[in-house]
Copies of this chain bind each other. A is one copy, B any other.
Amino acid sequence: MPEAHLPELPVVLIEEAIRAALIEDHGLAGDVTSQATIAPDAKATAVLDCRETGVISGLPLARAAFAALDPSLKFEMLFADGDTVEPGADVAKISGNARAILGAERVALNYLCHLSGIATHTARFAKHIAHTKARICCTRKTTPGLRAFEKYAVKCGGGANHRFGLDDAILIKDNHIAVAGGIHEAIEAARFFAGHLIKIEVEVDTLDQLREGLKAGPDVVMLDNMSLHQLREGVAIVDGRISIEASGNVDLDTVKAIAETGVDMISTSKITMSTKTLDLGLDIAID
C-alpha cells in the first residue's frame, strides 16, 4: 500500500462555507454580547483543545473562520487533519483581537466537532478491517450542503469515498434494471451513455443476479444485504475481475466479518449520518 496523501478541500468551497456560516451565526447585528462588554481593541489568546480521543478533521475550516473575521489573527496548527489526538491535547492556538476570536468560535467548533466526529467514527470501522484488503466507504447519505466536507472527513478517518453525486458514477439499481429490460440492457445503455471515464456499478440482491450482471461487464458490483455466506460465494464468483462493494447491515459489530469475506469495499451511511460529534472546545483568555 502506497503512503497516501490526505485529500485537500477546494479553497473556494471553504471560503463560501465559512461566509455562509458566519452570516448564519452573526445575523444583522453580530456578537452583541462582546460588543457590549469587550473593548474593540482587546486581545485574547485561545487554545483549541480536544477532550476525548479522536481523529481531527476540519482544521482548514476552523482556520478560515478566524481569518474571515480578522486576517491578522495568528492561528498556529499543532496537529493536522487526519491525526489522532488524545484527551487534553492542544490542537491549535489562536491569538489576536478578542472579539474576532469570540465571534468565530462557534462556527469553527461546529465544523471541527462535526467533521472530527465523522473522521473518528470512520477510523473505528477502518481499524476493525485493517487486517483485510477491504476499505470502509461512505454513501450519498450526507448532510445537505456539507457533502464535500463530510466526504473529506471520511478520508481523514482512513475511509474511502463513494460517488460524490448523481453525476460522477453510474449506479444501476432494480428500478433501472426493470425499466431497461434487464441487467444486461441497463449496463449496455449506461456504458454507451457514460463514456469511458465514468465507472458503472450495478447493485444485485442475489447470486443469480450477480452471475447475470457480470456478463455485461460492469466496473463494480454492489452485493446488497447479503449474508456472509452469500458474500463469500459472491467473492468466489467474481474472482478478482472487478471490484466488489458490500452494503447493508454494516456496523461496528458486523464489519470485521464482512471484510473477511474478501470484498473490496464496505459502504455505510453510518459514518456520515448519526455520528457523535468529537468533543473539542476553545479555552479563551482575554489579555
Closest B residue to A243 by CB, please name it. B196
* Residue among A1, A17, A163, A243 with max Cβ neighbours from chain B (10 Å): A163
Where chain A touches its partner, the secondary structure class is: mixed
Complex alpha-carbon distance, A13 and B99, angstroms: 16
The reply to whether B199 and A38 contact each other, CB–CB distance below 8 Å, is no
Please state the number of chain copies in the assembly.
6
- A161-B195 contact in complex given A32-B167, A141-B106, A166-B31, C-beta closer than 8 Å: yes
Chain B residues, CB < 8 A from A36: 4-5, 170, 176, 186, 189-190, 192-194
The reply to whether B107 and A144 contact each other, CB–CB distance below 8 Å, is yes
Interface residues of A in 52-74 (CB under 8 A from B): 68-70
Complex alpha-carbon distance, A42 and B6, angstroms: 14
The reply to whether B165 and A273 contact each other, CB–CB distance below 8 Å, is no
The reply to whether B2 and A188 contact each other, CB–CB distance below 8 Å, is yes
Question: Interface size class for chain A?
Answer: 35 or more
Closest B residue to A42 by CB, please name it. B179
The reply to whether B40 and A8 contact each other, CB–CB distance below 8 Å, is yes
Closest B residue to A277 by CB, please name it. B273
A19-27, A206-214, A227-235: which lies at the interface = A19-27
The reply to whether A111 and B144 contact each other, CB–CB distance below 8 Å, is yes
Interface residues of A in 91-119 (CB under 8 A from B): 98-99, 102-103, 106-107, 109-111, 113-114, 117
